[in-house]
Structure 1
Amino acid sequence: MERVMGGGMLQLFLASTGILLLYRILVRLRPGAALQDAVVVITGASSGLGKECARAFHAAGARLVLCGRDAGRLQQVVQELTASSTGSQRQTYTPSTVIFNLADTDTVDRAADEILKCFGQVDVLINNAGISYRGNILDTHLSVQRDVMETNYFGPIALTQALLPSMVHRRSGHIVVISSVQGKMAIPYRSAYAASKHATQAYFDCLRAEIERYGIPVTVISPGYIRTSLSVNAVTGDGSKYGVLDKTTAMGRDPRDVAQAVLKAVRQRSKDVVLAGPMPNLAIYLRTLWPALFFKLMSSRARKEQKPKAE
Structure 2
Amino acid sequence: MKNEKEETLAGWKIIWWLFKLFGFPITIPWLMYHFYDIMLQKRKKTALGNKVVMITGASSGLGEALAHTFYSLGCKIVLISRRKEELERVKNDLLNTHQTVPTYPPIVLSLDLTDINNLKNEVSKIIMIYDRIDILINNAGISYRGEVIDTNVDVDIKVMLSNYFSQVALSKIILPYMIEQKSGHIIGISSVQGRIAIPFRSAYAASKHALQAWYDTARAELCDKNIKFTVVNPGYIKTSLSLNALTGNGQVYGIMDKTTESGFQPKYVAECILKSVLKQEKEVTIASFSPKCAIILRTLFPSLYFWIMQKRARKLARDK
Fold match (TM-score > 0.5): yes
Q: TM-score, normalised by structure 1?
A: 0.88
Instruction: Identify the residue that residue 218 of structure 1 maps to in structure 2.
Output: 229
Q: Which structure has the larger Rg over C-alpha atoms? A: 1
Instruction: Identify the residue that residue 77 of structure 2 maps to in structure 1.
Output: 64
Instruction: Identify the residue that residue 39 of structure 1 maps to in structure 2.
Output: 52
Note closer, same or farther for the CA distance 1:218–1:308 as it changes in structure 2 (3 Å cut). Answer: farther
Q: Quick one: distance in 1 between partners of 2:91 and 2:110?
A: 13
Instruction: Identify the residue that residue 266 of structure 1 maps to in structure 2.
Output: 277
Query: Which residue type is aligned with residue 53 of structure 2?
Result: V
Quote how far apart the aligned CAs of 1:117 are: 2.2
Moved more, 205-214 or 110-119: 110-119
Q: TM-score, normalised by structure 2?
A: 0.86
Note closer, same or farther for the CA distance 1:89–1:139 as it changes in structure 2 (3 Å cut). Answer: closer
What are the within-5 Å matches in structure 2 for residues 258-297 of structure 1? Answer: 258-297=269-308
Q: Quick one: distance in 1 between partners of 2:97 and 2:58?
A: 16
Instruction: Identify the residue that residue 257 of structure 2 maps to in structure 1.
Output: 246
Q: Quick one: distance in 1 between partners of 2:299 and 2:101?
A: 45
Q: Quick one: distance in 1 between partners of 2:303 and 2:64?
A: 40
1:103-134: per-residue Cα shift (whole Å, max 9, x none)? 22122212221232231100000000000000
The answer on 1:132 being equivalent to 2:143 is: yes
Q: Quick one: distance in 1 between partners of 2:184 and 2:318?
A: 44
Instruction: Identify the residue that residue 127 of structure 2 maps to in structure 1.
Output: 116
Note closer, same or farther for the CA distance 1:308–1:110 as it changes in structure 2 (3 Å cut). Answer: farther
Instruction: Identify the residue that residue 162 of structure 1 maps to in structure 2.
Output: 173
Q: Quick one: distance in 1 between partners of 2:51 and 2:91?
A: 17
Report sequence identity in percent: 47
Quote how far apart the aligned CAs of 1:25 are: 8.4
Q: Which runs of 5+ in 1 are unaligned?
A: 1-22
Quote how far apart the aligned CAs of 1:265 are: 1.0
Quote how far apart the aligned CAs of 1:61 are: 0.7
Q: Quick one: distance in 2 between partners of 1:104 and 1:307?
A: 39
Instruction: Identify the residue that residue 90 of structure 2 maps to in structure 1.
Output: 77
Q: Quick one: distance in 1 between partners of 2:92 and 2:100?
A: 19
Q: Which runs of 5+ in 2 are unaligned?
A: 1-35
Q: Quick one: distance in 2 between partners of 1:24 and 1:222?
A: 23
RMSD over equivalenced CA pairs, Å: 1.8
Quote how far apart the aligned CAs of 1:36 are: 0.5
Note closer, same or farther for the CA distance 1:224–1:53 as it changes in structure 2 (3 Å cut). Answer: same
Note closer, same or farther for the CA distance 1:137–1:98 as it changes in structure 2 (3 Å cut). Answer: same
What are the within-5 Å matches in structure 2 for residues 296-311 of structure 1? Answer: 296-306=307-317
Check whether the contact 1:96–1:118 (CA below 8 A) recurs between aligned residues: no
Q: Quick one: distance in 1 between partners of 2:302 and 2:51?
A: 43
SS at 2:222's partner residue? helix
Query: Which residue type is aligned with residue 135 of structure 1?
Result: G
Note closer, same or farther for the CA distance 1:189–1:93 as it changes in structure 2 (3 Å cut). Answer: same
Q: Quick one: distance in 1 between partners of 2:319 and 2:244?
A: 15
Instruction: Identify the residue that residue 143 of structure 1 maps to in structure 2.
Output: 154
Q: Quick one: distance in 2 between partners of 1:75 and 1:226?
A: 23
Note closer, same or farther for the CA distance 1:106–1:302 as it changes in structure 2 (3 Å cut). Answer: same
1:260-299: per-residue Cα shift (whole Å, max 9, x none)? 1111111111110000111101110111100000000000
Q: Quick one: distance in 2 between partners of 1:99 and 1:131?
A: 17
Instruction: Identify the residue that residue 203 of structure 2 maps to in structure 1.
Output: 192
Note closer, same or farther for the CA distance 1:113–1:308 as it changes in structure 2 (3 Å cut). Answer: farther
SS at 1:102's partner residue? coil
Quote how far apart the aligned CAs of 1:66 are: 0.6
Note closer, same or farther for the CA distance 1:147–1:28 as it changes in structure 2 (3 Å cut). Answer: same
Note closer, same or farther for the CA distance 1:26–1:298 as it changes in structure 2 (3 Å cut). Answer: closer
Note closer, same or farther for the CA distance 1:56–1:97 as it changes in structure 2 (3 Å cut). Answer: same
SS at 2:247's partner residue? coil
Find the partner of 2:62 among 34, 46, 49: 49
After TM superposition, which residue ranges in structure 1, 4 or more long, deviate above 6 angstroms? none
Q: Quick one: distance in 2 between partners of 1:307 and 1:153?
A: 32
SS at 1:111's partner residue? helix
Instruction: Identify the residue that residue 179 of structure 1 maps to in structure 2.
Output: 190
Quote how far apart the aligned CAs of 1:44 are: 0.3
1:33-60: per-residue Cα shift (whole Å, max 9, x none)? 1210100000000000000000000001
Query: Which residue type is aligned with residue 284 of structure 1?
Result: I
